[in-house]
Amino acid sequence: MKHLSAILLFSIISILNCAGPKQDDLSGLLLLLAGGGGGNSFHCGQTVANPVPYSTITNQPPASVSDFITAAGGNNCGSASLVDNDDGTVTDTQNKFLWTLCTAYNASPIQLYDYVSSNCNAGSVVAADRNITQSQAVAFCESLTFAGHSDWILPDAIQLDTLYTTTTPFSLGSFGTKESLKRLGVVWASTQTNDSIVHAYTNGTATQRFVAIAASSTTFASLICVAKI
């Protein structure tokens, strides 16, 4: 099959070359054949492998959020444009993401809050809301089957940063009592620096929206998951 595909590709290239200099057409065709065509070919986020080469201080925000984002590969996302799907998920039509609207809690096993019956637990924060380690958060998202998706992951810092606004302060907090992200305040990111895990501090200021937390079995936060659409 690979040989047949290669022959077919070579034949198409030959035909196009004979027809004249069609570099733009050829580039588009090659991109499509390589799986790069269509709306789902690219999703923004961290492009530098963990650990990100950036130094942080435990329990402190990065000295510069912009430098931290640059170290993770640079902000290649747009500002989120969110649509409530009324099923416990929110679609970001700008960056082609699907977010879980509610955070999770650890009741052995870890579970997402149900926005239908409990409005993402809009009440007071309880211990179980922040009783999830970063490794547990990664495992939970990667094993989650929800809203027709089984490709959920724990978002990286750049993906989480698409949710930041200067007024909310995070845009998943704009859905009334159905949200729990703003209520809870902290969720894990998958981004890891040279010396710490960094998780989003969702009710922080512009310069304090990330906090470095040393990875261990005794450091806890909650989570939201993201899938690609």
Give per-residue pLDDT as tens, 105-115. Answer: 999 999 999 98
Asked if pLDDT for residue 214 goes beyond 50, the answer is yes
Q: Lay out the sheet containing 186-192: strands in order across.
A: 186-192, 197-201, 210-213
User: Is 10 or 81 the better-scoring residue by pLDDT?
Assistant: 81
Average pLDDT, the chain: 81
Q: How is the chain split into domains, by residue range?
A: 2-33, 65-228
Question: pLDDT band for position 202 (50/70/90)?
Answer: low
Give per-residue pLDDT as tens, 43-71. Answer: 899 999 999 999 989 889 999 999 999 99
Residue 69: count other Cβ atoms within 10 Å of its Cβ: 22
Joined tokens for residue 96: 């082609």
Angle at 125 between CA 123 and CA 127, to 5 degrees: 140
- Render 27-57 in DSSP notation, one character per residue: HHHHHHHTT--STTS---S--SPSSBS----
Half-sphere exposure of 99 (CA within 13 A, CB side): 31
Joined tokens for residue 8: 């077919």
Question: pLDDT band for position 216 (50/70/90)?
Answer: confident
Q: Residue 228, class by beta-carbon neighbours within 10 Å (0-12 exposed, 13-18 middle, 19+ buried)?
A: middle
Asked if pLDDT for residue 40 goes beyond 70, the answer is no
